[in-house]
A and B are shown apart, each in its own frame.
Chain A
Amino acid sequence: MEMEIKRETTKYNWFSMFWEGFTSMSRMSKTLWIVAIVKLIIMFFILKPFFFPNLLDTNYENEADKAEHVRTELFRKALANE
């Protein structure tokens, strides 16, 4: 019984810590959250999908095809120097 009460108290403290922390943030903290979230949105929802596709994943379906492409590329680039 005592164990249970202790666990409940701990749970409550953790929850209230985060709840109160987020709800009583200063103006500066809120600004920082906005900057961080906008930055992450730009990075993951604009830059990554539109400007930084994984070329091998986009153009080749399986590992063997990717390996073949890289092998061909490595050979082609060496030949270009000969």
Chain B
Amino acid sequence: MDLLSASAVNWSRAQFALTAGYHWLFVPLTIGLGLIMAIMESLYVKTGDLKWKAATKFWQKIFGINFAIGIATGIILEFQFGTNWSNYSWFVGDIFGAPLAIEGILAFFLEATFVSIMFFGWNRVSKKMHLTSTWLVFVGASLSAFWILVANAWMQYPAGMEFNPDSVRNEMNDFWAVAFSPVAYNKFLHTTFSCWAVGAAFVAAISGWYLLKGRHADFAIKSLKIGSLVGLVSFIMLAVTGDGSAYHVAQKQPMKLAAMEGLYKGTEGAGLVAVGMLNPAKEKYNDDVDPYIFKIEIPKLLSLLGYRNINAFVPGIVDIIEGGYTLPDGTTSLSFQERRERGLKAIQALADYQTAKKEGRDADAANHETILRENYAHFGYGYLETEEELIPNIPLTFYSFHLMVMIGLYFILFFVIMLYFLYKKDMVNSRWLQYVALWSLPLAYLASQLGWVVAEVGRQPWTIQDILPVQAASSAISAQNVITTFILFAVLFTSLLVAEVTIMVKQIRKGPDSEELNS
């Protein structure tokens, strides 16, 4: 790849990361608060306690601020597909387009319709109708996330499609294989629980602040009880679905798993690094430098998580590049060089197929098509020049993964302690825990972002696993154009974030409606 196009690709990636990262500040709170306010309103409808109604209305206002400012920020990502990633957009065809279209038409409109009833319908529609609307807002937001995650999961594990050499597109031949691939549903569950977790941490932080200020103690305790329960369930389920993610990554994206663990040389009965520091002196994947300065391992756990067998062989970066180890399906893995040769063969066959078709040599065209299909699983390797291009950024993936896991474990402990104090101790006077609740909020957002860093940086260089690397997916545009729009986005999103925080802080300072709280 020449320097100029490398720069355009990297800026396009940076731009996508910037917009996705900002977008993901809004989404988790929408889904997480959506659930919490729906639970609160259910309690109001069930018990008739107006304090639950006041609590619901307060969190709905916060939800509304986040919803209004965050709405449609994801569409900017779709703009980029057509401009910066036009080869990718064409190449994936309807597989990527279908879930996004369903998301736009069905889920988003469901969400948007019921949001208006939720905000305008108090005392105008029946209690049950209002409650249904609130739940449907949450369901709509979750469905919206589901279809986006289906599209993302397909890129990590392309299934249910066949490549058409005439249209140069991957065409969907099994909708259900795309929509309910094991990677997709696990990704959906893991991501959804992470949203609930952010919502719970948010409610705990704001409630902690009210207690610190000595305001609305009853409201804060009520909110903390719901938030802590949702938080504990979410973080436990994040661990469960995280295990599912590790299993799928081991099967479908072994290089990502190796990067997450900094594993260079594979081994049977591999341990999971609990804590470790990578050695910056390691410059090449195949040198003899120890990849760690230090590490504490949990024996056999990586084999167990990745292959459900404590003695299973987990390939490292060297093994994946050199090949020769036995894959879970019993076949022997190919080396990078073998896959590259097959990738080049597939690319050449695609070009030859078209020439033969144009010249009316149908038998030759059929022959080239067969070669293309036989080697299509390695198509993307034809774009990689060196072994190093196959390796994602190890430190970024490794530290993001481990920090995310540590924060997850911290929050399990945090919510257990919180529930203990809420039910067995005097939470109102436990100022240290109120401070901890308040200052833990950035950690929840950080973990949520780190999860995406692991998922997306860890799968480099691929936009579609094994089929299309980033350099082939990008458009022939200048880096300067991308830099300009990068700056525009940075300004736009930062302004939106400042607006969100400013309006939200104002609303939080104002607090819940005192009249309703005291009614």
Contact = CB atoms under 8 A, between A and B. Distances in A.
Interface of A: 13, 16-18, 20-22, 28-29, 31-33, 35-36, 39-40, 42-43, 47-48, 51-57, 63, 66-68, 70-71, 73-75, 77-78, 80-82
A14 to B, nearest CB: 9
22 contacts: A16-B124, A22-B120, A28-B65, A32-B68, A32-B69, A35-B68, A35-B496, A36-B68, A39-B496, A51-B83, A54-B89, A67-B166, A68-B354, A70-B87, A70-B90, A70-B91, A73-B476, A74-B91, A74-B350, A75-B351, A77-B383, A78-B383
Contact of A51 (B69, B475, B488): B488
Given A17-B125, A48-B79, A55-B475, 4 more contacts: A20-B124, A51-B485, A71-B350, A75-B350
Interface in B55-102: 61, 64-65, 68-69, 71-72, 75-76, 79-80, 82-83, 86-87, 89-91
A29 B120 CA distance: 11
Interface on chain A toward B: helix, strand, loop, or mixed SS? Answer: helix
B347 interface: yes
Interface on chain B toward A: helix, strand, loop, or mixed SS? Answer: helix
A48 B472 CA distance: 23
Given A31-B503, A80-B1, A73 B87 contact: yes
A63 B119 CA distance: 45
Given A18-B120, A31-B503, A52 B79 contact: yes
A22 B120 CA distance: 8
B444 to A, nearest CB: 24
Given A18-B116, A47-B488, A80-B1, A71 B82 contact: no
A32 B119 CA distance: 13
B236 interface: no
Contacts of B91: 70, 74
B121 interface: yes
B413 interface: no
Contact of A56 (B76, B90, B485, B488): B90
A22 to B, nearest CB: 8
Contacts of A35: 68-69, 496, 499, 503
Given A21-B119, A36-B68, A52-B82, A81 B503 contact: no
A52 B484 CA distance: 11
Given A28-B503, A40-B72, A70-B91, A54 B169 contact: no
B71 to A, nearest CB: 6
A29 B116 CA distance: 12
B228 interface: no
Contact of A17 (B76, B117, B496): B117
B167 interface: yes
Contacts of B484: 51
Contacts of B354: 68, 71
Given A36-B68, A43-B76, A74-B472, A67 B350 contact: no
Contacts of B350: 71, 74-75
Given A28-B507, A56-B82, A43 B75 contact: yes
